[in-house]
Amino acid sequence: MKKSNFYLLYSGDKSLLNNEVNKLKKNLNITSDSIYYDIENVSDIIVEASTIGMFDPYKFIVIDSDNYFLQKSEFDISLLEEYFNNYNTNSYLIFILNSGSVDSKKKLYKLINDNGTINKLSVTEEYLDTFVRNYIKDNGFTMSDMDIKFFLGRCNKDIDNIKNELDKLMLYKLEEKVIDKDDIILLVDEDIDDTVFELVSSILKNDCNKAMKLYYNFINNGMDVSQIIAIIASQIRLLFQVKRLYNSGKSNEEIAKILEFKSPYRVKYLLNDCYYYSEDDLIKYLSKLADIDKNIKSGNGDGKFLLELFIAKKDM
């Protein structure tokens, strides 16, 4: 990221946003405490940025900008405009926005774009892999490439959760400083939500081999057929909700907020999975699962076999 005195970082993932703010501070070699303001306190921000620190000349000022960028009307930022024209080079202003998109027509966006750095943050497999490698290395530990991949496969994609799981592993291997697959299996519970997501995704994409493999993983881990039906139905119901909200004109950020997701990133992947399926298609899946569940409970068929047929789409 290009060094400047002004930054705008935005993402729908709050934990990712916080992580990048901390990383930026480290890259700027600032050791003093971060200073936090809301964008509405413009005059206080200007006073803070213009004055020299008592114990450290450098200031890292983090400004929550949601109230500015997410409202339709502009509010007065003339003081900020004046400051941009004559700023303190020892002060760094970090504007953060908890949203996956930003209005580039806003005055503040143009000011930062002309005088600083704007960066949209998103969680990718490459980002998570790099994050884990750096976190492990910075703490004096090692983990093989295969074990990092295995570890990420068991975690959800939330940065805070990944940190917590790594901290737990490092505490366990404090003396050896080497984390391996056995440690991960022992201490990191597989994230069932992600596994269910993969299973339903495989079913919808007609990837029967992968779907069967994931299905038998559930069976081998002691989950009965009725439980598996319930979690598949729950995921498809969620896909239906996302599809309906999207069809009604809601943005990814609005859908994430309504369904109380931590990040619009999840909405994106759910939409990808149900893109080729109508709301009626998803309702048919739910209806078929309800029929299978009813047959199992009434003793009219072997549940394991019926669900295998459903996954293979032999009875659709």
User: In the CATH scheme, what is the homologous superfamily, with its name and number, of domain 6-120?
Assistant: P-loop containing nucleotide triphosphate hydrolases (3.40.50.300)
CATH class of the domain comprising 192-312: mainly alpha
> 125-187 with 192-312: one CATH topology?
no
- The three-state secondary structure class of 243 is helix
Give the C-alpha separation, 211 to 312, whole Å: 8
**Matching CATH number, 125-187, of 1.10.8, 3.30.2320, 3.30.1460, 1.20.120:** 1.10.8
* Per-residue pLDDT of the chain in tens (316 residues, 90 and over written 9): 678 999 999 987 888 898 899 999 999 999 888 999 999 899 999 999 998 877 788 999 999 998 888 876 667 889 999 999 999 999 999 999 988 888 898 999 999 999 999 999 887 888 889 999 999 999 999 999 999 988 987 777 778 889 989 999 999 999 999 999 999 988 887 666 667 777 888 888 888 888 888 888 788 777 788 888 888 898 899 899 999 999 999 888 888 888 887 667 678 778 877 777 888 989 998 999 998 888 888 888 788 888 888 888 755 5
Domain ranges of the chain: 6-120, 125-187, 192-312
